[in-house]
């Protein structure tokens, strides 16, 4: 029932010398308990009694009042705003590898490259599950800018796939650029942190600060294979901006049986993602308005690292707590050619996560180093995994 309208269903005429008496002749809602939930146009029925006058008959009308539209799961289109979550986790993976590629054994000027894979799984809840996977590569160059400062710049290309638990699949290709700056500060620290407090060097506290700025552009191509309608296709772009600040300090324990040092860190991660509006082609086409995702996270954690006896290799273990302090979840408005419209929301991921990261570095020779990292982040109803493997050539 696309439009609100009236239906006349009964007329009463008095006989010769008779009258018709109506009571409570006002508009009343007609309550109908459906046997099951239904999709499509939503609304309610009203019964309206119009008393007759003179020879005019009394009349009862049924009025249909439309209140909205409830799409079936195939039409919902939640994969569109959820594509912003895919862009979000890809951007965070790029930010992580920029930090890792800068904290390597071979700090001199050089070029580096890495392969990366990223996975996000959102549990199925009321037909709104979501899965994202992406693989690609990064190539970058790093050098000392001034004193102990390091500058690292990279280009990344990722190929991704998104899927809901209904009938839609999306393929994306993204291109990213990122610039990373890092500097080391040293200041006098209170004695007592180190075993040899008489050493002036040991009484100097080292703090590493870093900042990075990144941008990604992702082209999406979605196909929706309806059960009863022809296939529909849609194409749009996502733009992602990332800004991150970090600070890390280092402590050397008395015992170095497992690790040579541990380094507490605090980071500020800000990501904004924008989804363009677009209209599908094919059968049962929909128009989607633009949508946005904003997330501000403050990861806090500690990294443990140990070097090999010859200092040509290292391994590390990182634990982090990742709270999202400010969040705007993605959503969009979908409209059919008939004018039916509804809001489609992306998943609302839990705002708190726990992250575990493993990594290692190895110097093959004085000019070549290889590294690898793997991480898992657990949230209330989602899991995110990413791995990378790369190398650096010093020149």
Every domain of the chain and the residues it spans: 5-70, 73-394
Mean pLDDT of 114-142: 89
pLDDT band at 46 (very low <50, low <70, confident <90, very high): confident
Judge whether residue 394 has pLDDT over 60. yes
pLDDT band at 144 (very low <50, low <70, confident <90, very high): confident
Least confident of 15-24, 90-99, 160-169: 15-24
Q: What is the pTM of this model?
A: 0.84
Which homologous superfamily does the CATH classification assign to the domain defined by 73-394?
A: Autotransporter beta-domain (2.40.128.130)
Reading phi first (left if > 0) and then psi (alpha if -120 to 50, else beta), residue 87 is in alpha
CA angle 128, 325, 136 (to 5 degrees): 60
Compute how many other C-beta atoms are within 10 angstroms of the C-beta atom of residue 344. 23
Compute how many other C-beta atoms are within 10 angstroms of the C-beta atom of residue 297. 20
Beta-bridge partner residues of 376: 356, 385
Alpha-helical segments (H) within the chain: 73-76, 79-102
Ranked by mean pLDDT, the top range of 17-31, 121-135, 364-378 is: 364-378
Judge whether residue 197 has pLDDT over 50. no
Top pLDDT among 203 and 59 is at: 59
Residues 331 and 345 sit within 8 Å (Cβ to Cβ) = yes
pLDDT for the residue numbered 18? 53
Most distant pair of Cα atoms in the chain: their distance: 120
Top pLDDT among 141 and 39 is at: 141
pLDDT for the residue numbered 196? 47
Measured between alpha carbons, how far is 160 from 128 in angstroms, rounded to an integer?
Answer: 19
Mean pLDDT of 166-170: 93
Least confident of 187-196, 247-256, 259-268, 270-279: 187-196
Least confident of 82-91, 94-103, 372-381: 94-103
Nearest residue to 389 (alpha-carbon basis) of 102, 179, 137: 137
pLDDT band at 154 (very low <50, low <70, confident <90, very high): very high
Mean pLDDT of 159-172: 94
Top pLDDT among 6 and 113 is at: 113
Mean pLDDT of 219-237: 94
pLDDT for the residue numbered 294? 98
Strand duo 261-275 + 204-224: pairing: unpaired
Average model confidence (pLDDT) for the chain?
85
pLDDT for the residue numbered 174? 97
Top pLDDT among 255 and 175 is at: 175
pLDDT band at 30 (very low <50, low <70, confident <90, very high): low
Judge whether residue 279 has pLDDT over 90. yes
Half-sphere exposure of 384 (CA within 13 A, CB side): 23
Ranked by mean pLDDT, the top range of 52-56, 150-154, 289-293, 341-345 is: 289-293
Measured between alpha carbons, how far is 259 from 255 in angstroms, rounded to an integer?
Answer: 8
Mean pLDDT of 215-223: 98
Mean pLDDT of 308-335: 92
Least confident of 14-18, 140-144, 243-247, 295-299: 14-18
Q: What is the DSSP letter of 57?
A: P
Judge whether residue 308 has pLDDT over 60. yes
Top pLDDT among 75 and 215 is at: 215
| % of residues, the chain, pLDDT over 90 | 55
Residues 152 and 98 sit within 8 Å (Cβ to Cβ) = yes
| % of residues, the chain, pLDDT over 70 | 83
pLDDT in tens, 16-28: 555 555 555 455 5
- Strand order of the β-sheet with 331-336 is 278-279, 286-288, 331-336, 341-345
């Amino acid at each position: 029932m696309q439009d609100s309208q009236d239906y006349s269903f009964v007329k009463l005429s008095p006989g010769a010398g008779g009258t018709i008496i109506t009571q409570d002749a006002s508009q009343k809602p007609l309550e109908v308990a459906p046997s099951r939930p239904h999709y499509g146009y939503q609304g309610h029925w009203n019964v309206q009694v119009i008393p007759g006058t003179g020879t005019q008959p009394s009349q009862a009308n049924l009025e249909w009042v439309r209140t909205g539209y409830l799409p079936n799961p195939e039409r919902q289109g939640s994969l569109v705003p959820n594509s912003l979550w895919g862009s979000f986790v890809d951007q965070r993976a790029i930010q992580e590898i920029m930090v890792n590629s800068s904290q390597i054994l071979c700090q001199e000027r050089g070029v580096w490259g890495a392969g990366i894979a990223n996975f996000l799984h959102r549990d199925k809840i009321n037909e709104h599950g979501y899965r994202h996977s992406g693989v690609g590569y990064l190539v970058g160059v790093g050098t000392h800018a001034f004193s102990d400062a390091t500058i690292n710049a990279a280009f990344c290309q990722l190929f991704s796939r998104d899927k809901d638990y209904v009938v839609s699949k999306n393929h994306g290709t993204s291109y990213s650029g990122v610039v990373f700056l890092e500097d080391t500060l040293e200041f006098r620290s209170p004695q007592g942190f180190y075993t040899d407090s008489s050493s002036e060097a040991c009484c100097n506290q080292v703090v590493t600060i870093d900042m990075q700025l990144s941008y990604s552009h992702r082209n999406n191509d979605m196909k929706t294979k309806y059960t009863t309608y022809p296939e529909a296709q849609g194409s749009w772009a996502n733009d992602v901006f990332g800004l991150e600040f970090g600070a890390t300090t280092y402590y050397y324990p008395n015992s170095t049986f497992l690790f040579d040092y541990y380094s507490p860190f605090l980071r500020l991660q800000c990501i904004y993602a924008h989804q363009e509006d677009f209209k599908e082609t094919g059968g049962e086409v929909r128009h989607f308005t633009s949508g946005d995702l904003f997330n501000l996270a403050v990861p806090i954690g500690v990294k443990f690292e140990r070097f090999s006896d010859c200092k040509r290799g290292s391994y590390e273990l990182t634990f982090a707590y990742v709270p999202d302090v400010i969040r705007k979840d993605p959503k969009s408005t979908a409209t059919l050619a008939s004018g039916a419209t509804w809001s489609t929301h992306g998943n609302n991921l839990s705002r708190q996560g726990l992250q575990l990261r493993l990594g290692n570095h190895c110097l093959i020779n004085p000019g070549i180093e290889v590294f690898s990292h793997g991480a898992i982040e657990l949230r209330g109803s989602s899991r995110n995994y990413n791995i990378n493997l790369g190398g650096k050539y010093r020149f």
